[in-house]
């Protein structure tokens, strides 16, 4: 196999991992941003237990993304992780607090204890979601990577108006996604409650989605280049629009399994838009020089042998991972119930 | 204070804190596999309740391990980006394999292990327990493999210049089975096992002292004393093999561990001593010729001293010397606990010797000391190299960081981890106080978890 094919396959693996991450952790982050509004303790516990057996496995995809960047595109891993230092520290802080909040909330009965952890669960879920959006916004906008592949970027410079809006879009997206998940996993009184929210979460997402699509294509026209060169890619935005319409339809018909599926597809296609727009660039340098400073999948990838090893690991690992996932989601299918060993 | 120094402190701190949890998860998961296995075999309800109890404790350790583990995955890129660029090809492939093969296995089945009691058949639950345990063990295997490559790099060549300089794989099996890997993984896993057995010793001794859950305590204490004793004997054998590996592969580290300044025949082994760096000597109690015997299995043969290496390649001698001794003493303390316990049992007085039981309650501190001190020896002994004889730690640090950023993150980690640590101890204590469900359970803890009696 030629080196270039290996590089592209590794890149596709990275894209697939990110997609799995946003689709899966997306719903538990979304549940996190809604849980504080669930009302009484029993409802909050149902929210929490709906993601109980899954969130941990979903987060592993984040480790996979980071690990895959490390092995497949070491310079990207090193440049981004050191350049986004302060932001990533906040991100890690949120990840720790979130895991701990989920784990510790149910261990004591007091209202103050539980309320505190619910607040941290909410805040950390939003921070992670917003942080992911900020990172993506900056990657589209371009960051000052220099010729030594070092990124000197002060923390406050990350919060340009465009990245902040991408951050808000991801909050709207994951909240909607979490809302769909809850519709599917709850019943009776709790379901009635989340049913009331869904028109708002969908509308908010659609509003942000349209705004950000127009904004991105106006302000960063290079994101459209591949669509102009290969019109076949227009199938992605068309499919996306269709899926969003179907999602609304299934929600209205109370087919919540299908509407959640459409929500998953929405996220997948949205991320594909980003991937097609930026291909083959991984990091766009705002220092210009005709793109010679950009980190692309061709100029930062690991050596031939390492890519072969990575793909072999993936070939063995991916079927296993999918099997574990299937077993897990199969065992915990159906409406969420509370037991004495629940959270 | 510069970025390099602060980054080293931060990595040492976060990695040590992280390492309080996974080894216990690994050791405890093996114990659970055995106890749940006894339930599968005998179908006795008491083993099922024991399994449930330990599974809850396991869940607590596991959650802490995951939460603090995230920090470590990012840390290489955050603070050590030059190192990451250089070793990504080699080191990254081991970390990625850990993620794919180990973390998913753990994360996929921990849900079934913790929440699946009423959802799946007993045999499937047992399978989930075994897979989680396997995943935890496997995860240690990959990470020790990656670390061993940093200790004894093999199967690679260095290519490129300037910012493109990096290590690339030439022989994958040499990378995987680098010279120190097998010795070190056995040593680490036995250390994990001892964590598990001594937690059982501590908890069951506590119940004895308090005269509670006696049936549980009786079985658990005897079982864990035997398992500890076996583990400690095996660890002695593994320690011998590891140390001789160090002497062969990293002679400067061995010289630092023993503070052997001059190459000497009949090298003595210092049991207790103080390193005098000015005069380059050790004052203390030493057994003549023992070090030569331990390294070469022959009392005469010379042990290579620090004088044969340039001073800029020396690690911090006192740090390595003292942490190595802390590990050995902790092993000694554990051996003492196990032997006395087994002796009293043989006399038939295990349940009545309160002084011993009280001491045993605190015995779990020693595997902790041994594990942490052991890693300090291994990691500080590798300095000033981050990849032994290939890349210096000073060249591995991120170039873009400011002192203020690392001070900030350091403060953040200290605050968060102190908070987490105290919460963890508090909750662990509650779980232990509540104990397993048996005939004498007071039913005080479970009520608020029942959805129908919740405070609204």
**If you count them, how many residues does chain B have?**
456
What pLDDT score was predicted for residue B455?
41
What pLDDT score was predicted for residue A327?
85
**If you count them, how many residues does chain A have?**
343
Q: Mutate one of A45, A107, A315, A329 to test the B interface: name it (highest B CB count within 10 A).
A: A107
**Contact at CB, A106 and B99, closer than 8 angstroms:** no
Q: Mutate one of B52, B69, B74, B448 to test the A interface: name it (highest A CB count within 10 A).
A: B74
Give the lowest-confidence range in A179-193, B20-34, B217-231, B279-293: B279-293
Q: How far apart are CA A74 and CA A306, in angstroms?
A: 11
**Contact at CB, A66 and B71, closer than 8 angstroms:** no
Instruction: Supply φ then ψ for residue B303, to 5 degrees.
Output: -105, 130
CA B214 to chain centre: 30
Task: Record the tokens describing residue A236, joined without a space.
Answer: 């992605």
Nearest to B99 among A41, A64, A305 (CB): A64
Our CA-based measurement puts residue A148 at a distance from the nearest CA of chain B, in whole angstroms, of: 6
Under 8 Å between Cβ of A342 and B56: no
**Contact at CB, A313 and B412, closer than 8 angstroms:** no
Our CA-based measurement puts residue A215 at a distance from the nearest CA of chain B, in whole angstroms, of: 32
Q: Mutate one of A324, A333, A343 to test the B interface: name it (highest B CB count within 10 A).
A: A324
**Average pLDDT taken over every residue of chain A:** 89
Half-sphere exposure (Cβ direction) of B199: Cα atoms closer than 13 Å? 26
Q: Measure Cα distances from B103 to A58, B99, B110 in Å.
A: 11, 5, 10
What pLDDT score was predicted for residue B454?
41
Chain B residues with CB inside 8 Å of A88's CB?
Answer: 74, 78
Our CA-based measurement puts residue B408 at a distance from the nearest CA of chain A, in whole angstroms, of: 9
Nearest to A53 among B81, B111, B401 (CB): B111
Supply the DSSP string of A97-162, one letter for each residue.
HHHHHHHHGGGS--HHHHHHHHHHHHHHHHHHHHHHHHHHHHHHH-B-B-TTS-B---GGGG--HH
Tally of CB atoms within 10 A around A210: 11
Query: Region B351-377: what's the mean pLDDT?
Result: 90
Per the model's pLDDT, the better-predicted residue between B173 and B280 turns out to be B173
Q: Mutate one of B52, B83, B104, B130 to test the A interface: name it (highest A CB count within 10 A).
A: B104
Q: Mutate one of A71, A101, A120, A189 to test the B interface: name it (highest B CB count within 10 A).
A: A71
Q: Which residues in chain A land under pLDDT 70? A: 341
Which residue has tokens 């075999």?
A: B41
**Contact at CB, B93 and A309, closer than 8 angstroms:** yes
What pLDDT score was predicted for residue B195?
94
What pLDDT score was predicted for residue A15?
93
Task: Record the tokens describing residue B311, joined without a space.
Answer: 């001073």
Q: How far apart are CA A261 and CA A177, in angstroms?
A: 10
**Contact at CB, A331 and B98, closer than 8 angstroms:** no
Q: With 80 as the cut, is the pLDDT of residue B234 above it?
A: yes
**Average pLDDT taken over every residue of chain B:** 87
Task: Record the tokens describing residue B71, joined without a space.
Answer: 């920090």
Q: How far apart are CA B396 and CA B83, in angstroms?
A: 4
Q: How far apart are CA B386 and CA B397, in angstroms?
A: 10
**Which neighbouring-strand residues pair with B285?**
B272
Nearest to B67 among A63, A100, A111 (CB): A100
Our CA-based measurement puts residue A301 at a distance from the nearest CA of chain B, in whole angstroms, of: 9
Q: Measure Cα distances from B131 to A141, A221, A252, A329, B108 in Å.
A: 44, 49, 42, 17, 9
Fill in the DSSP letter of residue B351.
T
Chain A residue nearest residue B91, CA to CA: A71
Nearest to A63 among B73, B170, B455 (CB): B73
Q: How far apart are CA B295 and CA B299, in angstroms?
A: 9
Our CA-based measurement puts residue B276 at a distance from the nearest CA of chain A, in whole angstroms, of: 39
For A244-280, give one letter per residue: b (16+ CB within 10 A) or e.
Answer: bebbbebbeeebbebbbbbbbbbbbbbbbbbbbbbee
Chain A residue nearest residue B411, CA to CA: A89
**Contact at CB, B88 and A71, closer than 8 angstroms:** yes
B356 band by pLDDT with thresholds 50, 70 and 90: confident
Nearest to A310 among B81, B93, B104 (CB): B93
Our CA-based measurement puts residue A248 at a distance from the nearest CA of chain B, in whole angstroms, of: 32
What is the three-class DSSP state of B109?
helix
Q: How far apart are CA B113 and CA B132, in angstroms?
A: 8
Nearest to A82 among B81, B90, B103 (CB): B81
Q: Residues B62-120: pLDDT tens digits?
A: 888 888 888 998 999 899 999 998 998 888 888 888 888 888 888 888 888 888 888 88
Q: With 50 as the cut, is the pLDDT of residue B448 above it?
A: no
Q: Measure Cα distances from B189 to A23, B138, B140, B147 in Å.
A: 36, 10, 8, 14
What pLDDT score was predicted for residue A188?
85
What pLDDT score was predicted for residue B449?
43
Query: Region B126-142: what's the mean pLDDT?
Result: 92
Q: Where is A16: in which H helix or E strand? A: helix A3-34
Which residue has tokens 């105290």?
A: B422
Supply the DSSP string of B194-225, one letter for each residue.
HHHHHHHHHHHHHHHHTT-SHHHHHHHHHHHH
Q: Mutate one of B14, B67, B135, B149 to test the A interface: name it (highest A CB count within 10 A).
A: B67
**Contact at CB, B108 and A54, closer than 8 angstroms:** no
Helices marked H in B383-402: 393-396
Chain A residue nearest residue B168, CA to CA: A303
Q: Residues B235-292: pLDDT tens digits?
A: 999 998 888 888 888 888 988 888 888 888 888 888 888 888 778 788 888 888 888 8
Under 8 Å between Cβ of A17 and A8: no
Nearest to B108 among A152, A305, A324 (CB): A324
- % residues pLDDT > 70 (chain B): 96
Chain B residues with CB inside 8 Å of A117's CB?
Answer: none
Query: Region B333-351: what's the mean pLDDT?
Result: 88
Query: Region B211-238: what's the mean pLDDT?
Result: 89
Contacts of A226 (CB under 8 A, 6+ apart): A233, A276, A277, A279
Chain B residue nearest residue A80, CA to CA: B77
Our CA-based measurement puts residue B81 at a distance from the nearest CA of chain A, in whole angstroms, of: 4
Nearest to A78 among B85, B103, B110 (CB): B85
Tally of CB atoms within 10 A around B456: 8
Contacts of B185 (CB under 8 A, 6+ apart): B140, B141, B144, B145, B148
Residues A12, A17, A23, CA angle at the centre, nearest 5°? 125
Chain B residues with CB inside 8 Å of A305's CB?
Answer: 89, 168-170, 172
**Contact at CB, B92 and A75, closer than 8 angstroms:** no
Tell the burial category of A291 from Cβ atoms under 10 Å away from its Cβ (0-12, 13-18, 19+). exposed
Chain A residues with CB inside 8 Å of B420's CB?
Answer: 96, 100
Cβ pairs A/B, distance under 8 A: 242
Our CA-based measurement puts residue B414 at a distance from the nearest CA of chain A, in whole angstroms, of: 12
Which residue has tokens 């009545």?
A: B352
């Amino acid at each position: 196999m030629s080196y270039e094919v290996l590089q592209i396959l590794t890149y596709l693996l990275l894209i697939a991992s990110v997609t799995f991450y946003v689709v899966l952790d997306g719903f538990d982050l979304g549940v996190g941003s809604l849980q504080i509004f669930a009302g009484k303790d029993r409802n909050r516990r149902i929210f929490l237990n709906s993601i109980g057996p899954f969130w941990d496995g979903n987060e592993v995809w984040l480790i996979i993304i980071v690990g895959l960047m490390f092995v497949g595109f070491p310079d990207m891993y090193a440049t981004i992780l050191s350049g986004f230092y302060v932001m990533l520290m906040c991100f890690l802080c949120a990840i720790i607090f979130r895991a701990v909040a989920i784990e510790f909330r149910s261990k004591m009965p007091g209202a103050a204890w539980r309320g505190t952890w619910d607040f941290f669960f909410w805040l950390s879920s939003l921070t992670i979601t917003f942080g992911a959006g900020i990172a993506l916004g900056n990657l589209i906008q371009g960051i000052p990577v220099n010729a030594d592949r070092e990124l000197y970027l002060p923390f406050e410079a990350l919060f340009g108006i465009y990245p902040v809006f991408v951050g808000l879009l991801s909050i709207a997206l994951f909240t909607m996604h979490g809302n769909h998940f809850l519709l599917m996993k709850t019943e009776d009184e709790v379901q009635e409650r989340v049913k009331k929210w869904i028109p708002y979460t969908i509308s908010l997402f659609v509003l942000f989605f349209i705004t950000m699509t127009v904004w991105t294509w106006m302000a960063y026209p290079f994101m459209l280049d591949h669509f102009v060169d290969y019109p076949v890619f227009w199938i992605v935005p068309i499919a996306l629009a269709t899926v969003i319409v179907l999602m609304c339809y299934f929600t209205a018909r109370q087919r919540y399994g299908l509407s959640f599926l459409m929500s998953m597809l929405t996220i997948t296609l949205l991320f594909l838009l980003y991937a097609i727009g930026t291909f083959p660039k991984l990091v766009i340098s705002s220092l210009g020089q005709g793109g010679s400073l950009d980190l692309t999948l061709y100029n930062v990838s690991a050596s031939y042998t390492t890519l072969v090893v990575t793909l072999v690991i993936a070939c063995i690992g991916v079927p296993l991972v999918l099997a574990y996932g299937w077993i897990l989601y199969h065992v915990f299918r159906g409406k969420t119930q509370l037991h004495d060993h629940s959270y | 204070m510069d970025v390099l120094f602060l980054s080293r402190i931060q990595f040492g701190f976060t990695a040590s804190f992280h390492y309080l949890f996974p080894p216990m998860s690994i050791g405890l998961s093996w114990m659970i596999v055995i106890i749940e296995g006894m339930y599968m075999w005998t179908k006795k309800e008491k083993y099922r309740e024991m399994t449930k109890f330990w599974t809850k404790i396991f869940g607590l350790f596991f959650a802490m391990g995951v939460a603090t583990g995230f920090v470590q995955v990012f840390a290489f890129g955050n603070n050590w980006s030059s190192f990451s660029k250089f070793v990504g090809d080699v080191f990254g492939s081991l970390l990625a394999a850990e993620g794919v093969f180990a973390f998913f296995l753990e994360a996929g089945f921990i849900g079934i292990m913790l929440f699946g009691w009423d959802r799946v058949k007993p045999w499937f639950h047992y399978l989930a327990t075994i897979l989680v345990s396997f995943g935890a063990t496997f995860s240690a295997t990959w990470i020790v493999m990656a670390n061993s490559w940093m200790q004894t790099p093999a199967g690679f060549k260095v290519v490129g210049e300037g910012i493109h300089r990096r290590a690339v794989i030439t022989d994958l099996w040499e990378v995987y089975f680098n010279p120190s890997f097998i010795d070190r993984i056995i040593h680490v896993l036995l250390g994990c096992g001892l964590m598990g057995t001594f937690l059982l010793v501590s908890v069951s001794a506590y119940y004895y002292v308090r005269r509670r859950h006696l049936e549980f305590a009786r079985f658990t204490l005897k079982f864990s004393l035997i398992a500890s004793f076996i583990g400690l004997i095996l660890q002695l054998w593994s320690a011998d093999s590891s140390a001789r590996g160090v002497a062969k592969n990293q002679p400067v580290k061995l010289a630092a561990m023993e503070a052997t300044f001059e190459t000497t025949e009949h090298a003595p082994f210092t049991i207790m001593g103080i390193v005098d760096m000015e005069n380059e000597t050790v004052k203390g109690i030493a057994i003549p010729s023992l070090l030569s015997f331990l390294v070469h299995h022959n009392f005469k043969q010379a042990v290579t001293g620090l004088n044969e290496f340039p001073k800029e390649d020396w690690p911090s001698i006192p740090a390595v010397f003292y942490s190595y001794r802390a590990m050995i003493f902790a092993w000694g303390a554990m051996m003492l606990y196990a032997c006395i316990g087994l002796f009293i049992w043989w006399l038939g007085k295990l349940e009545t010797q309160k002084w011993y039981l009280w001491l045993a309650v605190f015995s779990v501190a020693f595997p902790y000391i041994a594990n942490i001190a052991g890693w300090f020896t291994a990691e500080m002994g590798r300095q000033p190299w981050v990849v032994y004889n290939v890349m210096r730690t000073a060249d591995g640090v991120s170039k873009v960081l400011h002192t203020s950023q690392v001070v900030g993150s350091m403060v953040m980690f200290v605050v968060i981890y102190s908070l987490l640590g105290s919460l963890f101890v508090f909750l662990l204590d509650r779980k232990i106080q509540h104990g397993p469900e048996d005939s004498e359970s007071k039913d005080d803890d479970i009520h608020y978890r029942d959805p129908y009696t919740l405070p609204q």
